[in-house]
Structure 1
Amino acid sequence: MSSSAPQTEPHVVEDCRGVLQLMSDGTVRRSAEPPALFSAVDVSEDECGVEWKDVTWDPAHGLNARLYRPRHLGAANDARIPVVAYFHGGGFCIGSGRWPNFHAWCLRLCSELPAVVLSFDYRLAPEHRLPAAQEDGARAMSWLRSAAAGGGDPWLADAADFARVFVAGDSAGGNIAHHVAVGLGRAGLGPGVRIRGALLLAPAMAGDARTRAEQLECPRDAFLTTEMCDRYARLALPEGASRDDSVLSPAGPRAPGLEAVEMAPVLVVAGGRDVLRDRNAQYARRMKEEWGKEVEYVEVAGADHGFFVVDPWSERADELVRIVRRFVVDHMDTE
């Protein structure tokens, strides 16, 4: 009489903030709710003077975009305002523009820049590993081009100045914004649609060799730790790829040189307490000194990773809004 080995229940192999779990049998479990830290954010939309709506920008993959515009704008052309195409963070694995924290931050950008903000969702890993997110970023910009040509949502027509587009994102979204900006160059998306700049807010970057911040200076209570970065990389990278792959290390040893790419100016913002700050600084330095790009690097003293989406109404978030506003005003009309 033969006996088979006892069946064991699948167990959690990787966990991302409790909202995504990779199981030992390869299945993925996702929560419909964001982490408690993010869902507790006060959106304060009535105080912002902003209206918004959701659209499906990619029906094939069920991808949502949340569109924002100030409530009170004149109909004249000179009342139109810049466009910020925004990609949320979440390690390429979790997140949505509909989460309260990302929603609140986009409300602030819309109200205080001011700008029309288009907050795009994209496919997430591990079901869709990189470069799926960057590919979705490029396709989202094609949707924007269609909107600018009148084939998109007419809700944007009276407010959006598509000749003043800024590509933006935080963390993983900042990485996507880099790849989108490189792919589009300064010429943008054709007649009438110009890329004026890229806003990389604590952009997600990695590498095989540890930086000082990752190895020695990551606080135990940090919002993002070295261990978390490694987990996101394991889940997001293509099978067999290392952290030096250019999808995660856009200025690393395997990244193609960008000397010949004509890019709009880039703003890189890092937190002084962020585990990614060394990589952000190295990226800005190589982009500027080796590849000849116009790059501004700003470090917000004492700030943790994603401080502006963890608490979009904090004093440090106020500082970041001022930094972003100045950059947008300085570059929205440059040739």
Structure 2
Amino acid sequence: MPVAVAASGDTNVVEDLYGILRVLSDGTVVRSPDPPEFCPITFPCDHPSVQWKEAVYDKGKNLRVRMYKPSGGGEQAGRKLPVLVHFHGGGFCLGSCTWGNFHSFCLRLAAEAGAVVLSAGYRLAPEHRLPAALDDATGFLEWLREQSVSTEAEDGWLTEAADFGRVFITGDSAGGTLAHHLAVRAGSATPKHGDDVDSVTIKGYILLMPFFGGVDRTRSEALEFLLAEEPFLNLAVLDRFWRLSLPEGASRDHPIANPFGADSPGLGSVEFPPVLVVSSGTDLLHDRTVDYAERLAGMGKPVKVVDFPNDPHGFFTQDPWSETTGELIRLVSVFVVDSCVSVAAPKTA
């Protein structure tokens, strides 16, 4: 049950994430009812060219999805639109599809990418430790499949605009980690045949500064100026996220945290569609992100890397209406178009 928020100096507080989430010495988890300071209420709730609505995709867990589509959807233009399934960040401990910064980013993404955007919530740690979030993400894709074949799905609001043959999985930070694991699950599954053909076709994955970890520090994590307590996202905070979200007793080399850890599944035989990996130069996670992309490329996977050298982790949710965020969305749009184009093989003489 919710309890009063403990004071920041309370000696009973053993874990504290920005005052938004506190864990007390008896194991009680206290979440603030107020939006975080980095999510001001001044973020716009609407966009002149985007329609949006909210639905519950898992009633038992009360998990919600916010759905966005350009005004008129794709049906008025005589075509349906690609679908971007988006999972928010927050170290698996924080965040919601209802937060103003995530909402604003999805509004702009739908408008400027010309796509249906589905921002899906998932259960958070430490109340629900991993793999709960991954199970929920998998469950959301099952819900999406049900919507794609249902004649009564959300009274047509989604199905009239969404092209379920052009679906992309996107994720910010922890959401990017979910996108990776969804790709591995899908790419390791036995292909379906005949009447069992999947009604949803995933054309690609977009990992926006994914949240990966490991026991051994990378250079970008170990730089002394990044270890200070002042920055919004520092090494102590990253470790706290993993400590609260991974299964009890697990290290940062757990397969969910480290895709290349000793116990992680090999990726060589996994079939990947095109993957876009976005990194940022001032991000503690920069080296892990780049290493991830380089390893995939070394295995022959179709991966493209884009780097924003002067920007921080998650800049597009910190300032969803910035010029740089607009450039990111443009790159995502190009990736979506390119991944959907089938290039015929050249004829031989």
Letter in 2 for 1:139: G
Per the normalisation by structure 1, the TM-score is 0.92
Residue 171 of structure 2: aligned partner: 169
Q: Which runs of 4+ in 1 moved over 6 A?
A: 186-189
Listed as ranges, the matches of 1:252-263 within 5 Å are 252-263=261-272
- Give 1:246's match in structure 2, choosing from 239, 255, 263: 255
Q: Is the 8 A contact 1:196 1:333 kept in 2?
A: no
**What is the TM-score normalised by the length of structure 2?**
0.88
Range that drifts further, 250-259 or 263-272: 250-259
Correspondence for 2:334 among 310, 323, 326: 326
Superposed displacement of residue 72, structure 1 = 2.5
Instruction: Provide the secondary structure at the position in 1 that maps to 2:164.
Output: strand
Amino acid at match of 2:330: R
Consecutive unaligned residues of structure 2, counting only runs of 5 or more, are 1-9, 344-349
Q: Deviation string for 1:155-205 (max 9, x for gaps)?
A: 112110000000011001110111112212396994431110001001100
Go from structure 1 to structure 2 and tell me whether the alpha carbon gap of 1:29 and 1:74 turns closer, same or farther (over 3 Å shift): closer
Provide the rounded CA distance (Å) in 2 between the counterparts of 1:312 and 1:320: 10
For residue 111 of structure 1, what is the aligned residue in structure 2? 111
Equivalent of 2:275 in 236, 253, 266: 266
Query: Counterpart in 1 of 2:137?
Result: 137
Instruction: Indicate the residue corresponding to 1:3 in structure 2.
Output: none
Partner residue in 2 for 1:88 = 88
Give the superposed CA RMSD.
Answer: 2.0
Amino acid at match of 1:322: R
Higher mean Cα deviation, 18-27 or 32-41? Answer: 32-41
Deviation at 1:264, TM superposition (A): 1.0
The answer for the alignment partner of 1:215 in structure 2 is: 222
Q: Please tell me whether the aligned partners of residues 213 and 276 of structure 1 are also in contact (alpha carbons under 8 angstroms).
A: yes
Structure 1 CA distance for aligned equivalents of residues 260 and 274 of structure 2: 16
Q: Within 5 Å, give how 1:298-317 maps onto structure 2.
A: 298-317=306-325
For residues 11-34 of structure 1, what are the alpha-carbon distances to aligned partners after superposition, in whole Å with 9 as ceiling and x for unaligned? 111111211111111000012222
What does 1:18-29 correspond to in 2, within 5 Å? 18-29=19-30
Give deviations 1:282-318, integer Å, cap 9, x for gaps: 11111110x3211111110211011000100112211
Quick one: percent identity of the two aligned structures? 47
1:47-126 aligned at under 5 Å gives the runs 47=48, 49-73=49-73, 75=75, 78-126=78-126
Residue identity opposite 1:266 in structure 2: V
Secondary structure, in 3 states, of the residue corresponding to 1:185? helix
